[in-house]
Amino acid sequence: MHHNQVTTCLKSGGPLSKHCGCPHCALTVCAVCGAYEGALTTDCPGTRVDYDRQTEVYETCLDFTDLRGWHQGAPMKDRTPRFEQTAIATEPSPSDPRSIVAPSIDWATIDRNARLEHELAKKAIAWVLADRTCEDHSVAITRIEAEAGESLVDEVGGGVSPSVLLTRLECEKISFQLAEQRERRCDDEFRQAARVLVSALEEATGSKDP
């Protein structure tokens, strides 16, 4: 089945508006599976898709089609979600109890920004861990190079042979290159998450200097 785009604004309960910043108005959201933007599969699974599965769809080649079901397909950037021509509206969201206590506060924006801050924190942690892995491999390469140099100077010693050390060195260099690629990817994702959060904060405050 095809996706069905929501047509109900989360804030007003009315039609979508380009002037609203709620997730329904600002993003392409499926009313059936609940996925949005890069987490949308080619066809709709017909049931709600949880956050972990949406993340997997966004970060890998996991896809869903009516023909094959869940499978590894095209990456997200090459995927085109199929939507029904006629969108359906979701049920209006229940009133937020907080709006009764403090009606002047835009709780939808606060919740959205909190989610973005949480996502930014996750990306920052992933980058730090990836950077540490790069440092560990870099230290290991330096140590093996030193051992190999000493072994070549003292070929009489009973230590590890130079050929074994050189093999270890090549393996460590490959591991470092892979770790460096992951570190760059994590850094890029962290920067993108930071830009999204800053844009949301600027929109909420009406300023370019939040």
Residue range 98-136, pLDDT digits in tens: 666 767 767 677 778 888 888 889 889 989 999 999 999
Q: How confident is the model at residue 98, as a pLDDT? A: 67
- In terms of pTM, does the model score above 0.95? no
Domain span(s) for CATH 1.10.287 in the chain: 107-205
More confident residue, 101 or 81: 81
**pLDDT given for residue 153 in this prediction:** 55
pLDDT tens-digit profile of 152-209? Answer: 555 554 566 777 888 888 888 998 999 999 999 999 999 998 888 888 877 776 655 5
Q: What is the pLDDT of residues 33-57, one digit of tens each?
A: 999 888 999 999 999 999 889 989 9
**What mean pLDDT is predicted for residues 4-20?**
84
Q: Exposure pattern of 134-154 as b/e (b: 16+ CB <10 Å)?
A: beebeebbeebeebbeebeee
**Number of C-alpha atoms within 13 angstroms, CB side, residue 14?**
5
151 has a pLDDT exceeding 80: no
pLDDT of residue 207: 54
Per-residue pLDDT, 133: 92
Alpha-carbon distance values, 99 to 13, 60, 108, 116, 152 (Å): 14, 38, 10, 21, 74
CA–CA dist 151, 136 (Å, integer)? 22
What pLDDT, on the 0 to 100 scale, is given for residue 210? 45
Mean pLDDT confidence for 87-103: 61
Segment holding 62, helix H or strand E: strand 62-65
Amino acid, res. 30 = C
107-205: what fold?
Helix Hairpins (1.10.287)
Pair 157, 203: CB distance under 8 Å:
no
